[in-house]
Chains A and B, each alone.
Chain A
Amino acid sequence: MSKYLALLIAVLAHSCSQQNEVMQITTLEKHSFDEVIEQHLADASTWPEFGIERANEMIELFGMAELGGAIGQRAQRRVNRLGNNEIQHALLLIVETDKQNTALRRRAYSLLANRDWQSSNRFIPRLTLRLKYEKDWPSNIIIARALANVGSLAGIDAVKSILLNSGEDEIDDLDLAKSLAAEFISELNADHDNFEDNWQHLQLLSDVWDKVHAFQGVTTDFNQEYQDELWSLVAQFRSQPLRPVDDARFVFIRLEQQAMTVLAAAASDSNRYVRDHCLQTLTWMPASSQVAYDFALKESLEVLENDFYSSVRAIEYRGSLMDKIQADFLWPFIENGNYEQRTAAADALLRCADYSVARIDALLIDQRFSPEAQCSLLLLRDELRGSEIVIPRISGLDQNELTRRLRWQQQRQALATDYRKQR
């Protein structure tokens, strides 16, 4: 009888161990995070409170000041008494509110672009958002100029786009936009006359901006008022309607790299949506991901990866660092994570590019991988084998998802090539 008992116990023990093996899923906790945004907004400076009527009065005052004579001098004295915040708020209110009067908006943008704001640059985020909504092309060029004056090349794509436009698209005031753009790129190149040289110079600036979000000509003053504005912007991630969230993301991915430190700090906010969107925004901009990592995420990322709500985004963010060193952190999620974590980790592994073919082959036997994860692992395996990349045919894989993964792989390869060149 003892023989049967031993057999039974052995069978039970074996089946239990098998179950444990299958179910050994990475434990996720609902962590408690700090009220990071509230702490920063508590003492933050705000914009003056006045409406569009006052803003229109102010822009008229600017017009009168330009007239000269006694009236002009009086108006100029009144202009001189206005604070930078008041003027900026008035001009921004006009461009945000007046949809019909293109000439008035152009004038408001020009006033923003033609003034030396010194370190008073809190208007950068609000003006950057105009790139999303301003339809008038000459205005877009003026916005680009105003931003460049304070260290942001966020508007450079609009400038390139207008200069490359051959007139096939029907654009109002195309000639004016082109001449403003040509003038602007000449200013960027220390007022050189040769258009070709200026264009080449623009391309160089644009390449650097794309890679590290820094403008070699002017550094943005990272002062307290500017930071306050960034914290107000990141607070929009809490919004339930998506439009404010998307506006904030639009601005952040166009800001210079110091702004990423705000996203890095806010990624540990108590609001799950804020954490999610901070990590997501950083993931979209590999150029600045590293800045955020070095600033705060190196310490907080592991907590976020094990948080019930933020795990997948945190793993995804790790992939955006495109660094082999990160691969070791991903492995536990690939082996023991839940379905979503495994997808994020496989994607991140593709972006970080490490691990042996054999280990990936062993993974691919596991049927619990999503089509997206299988795609990432197959692309990486082929690359590690040194064989030509074969577009994987995977049931249930959306074409768009395949394209994204091929793009990640190409981005990382391009980065590696750049790195080798630099060395």
Chain B
Amino acid sequence: MLKRDKWRLMLVVAVIIVAVAVAFPIKGKVRLGLDLRGGVHIVLQAKETPGNPVTPDSIDRLLAVLRSRIDQYGISEPVIQKQGDDRVAIDLPGVDDPEAALDLIGRTAVLEFKQVLGASPAVPPAPIRSNYDSDAQFAEYQERWEQAKADVDTYITEMEEAVKSNPDMSVAKGAESGAYLLGRTYVSGKDLTKADTTFDQFGKAAVSLKFNTDGAKLFDEATAANVGKQIAIVLDDVVISAPVVQQRISGGEAQITGRFTTAEANRLAIMLRAGALPVGVEILENRSVGPSLGADSINAGVRAGLIGTALVVIFMLVYYGMLGVAADLALCVAMLLVMACLIALKSTLTLPGIGGIILTIGMAVDGNILIYERMKEEHKSGKTIMAALDAGFKKALVVILDSNITTLIAAAVLFYFGSGPIRGFAVTLSIGVVASVFCNVIVTKTLLGIILANRKAQAL
């Protein structure tokens, strides 16, 4: 063995050892994207609301409130970051219930206790087909219900018209139906010191509140002035309930009941504790993946990868024989390097990223094919087998670099412009390309040097 070959062999062995040390045991080491482990990705756009302009300061406060809500909700490893001037990107891995997470994040959660000046009639529940014997009957009730709904809508529109000229009054929709005509705000969520989930006397979930000194005083006055009348509890401009005040409440404690489930009451309590969002938010983008779908995707991806690898390995063995063995070993090393690089670079593996890896399996042996075909030609033209080996590698190298450079150009553009999952694809593709060039040029050559030198093979 030539001295040069010895060095090359040592390099290959060293790289493999390092890669194995980095990559094994592989379980839990690769950072998975939200599309694989399940979770919620949300992009929020801060929206100006009257009196709450979007400023760098309000965005910072927005981030703080969101962080506090998410932490209290108990999500591990959330990522909450500012995007541009007025956007916030949030990644919540491993969330089972995306709906709940969206509710937790997207709600402004401005709580107000307001004076009730009037209310529209309520809309009766819509008819459901299965409750009626015939289509005709159903249609009749449907029509009647629509008429009732239209009446209520007209009533609400009239109320809205009426309050336009009066800044002290407002109209807010009820949680179920209808609307309320509201007067002044007595006390708001800003004056809370505590909010907890509790249960009312009927065992239904509720949120108990404790006001600070100012709030307690205001609440005391409000209840004193409204005994026998309704006070509206308004959350984000929706009246969640409007209980009749039985008696004056001076302790600074109150309870919100409504149609909550325990989970909803929990979230509301968290939102009230963490505070209202300083500006309104709109959900620009929301991508949620359930954990089972993510697991399915990984399984399907791994299966496709294994089948793909097997097909390529068999093809190379059948077509190229001994040379194929070297190519297959080099392919295994390439895959090992891809995984090791993913782990070492702490890149996130996404679903398209898995696609990128599988694609690399096919592209990795391309280099071997180019080299081997060239070797055959050189051998046919009369060169000895070792000379053909050298010439094959040298001449094929240009083409191998060519093909991989064009792929890298595409990957670089994708990395620069792509978002999450696509970026994952660009990363695995680039890593795959670099790893396969290394394996084509260095690993295969080393292996062939050893195999051919020992076998003294005379034919290719």
Do A and B truly interact?
A: no
A residues contacting B by CB (< 8 A) are none
B residues contacting A by CB (< 8 A) are none
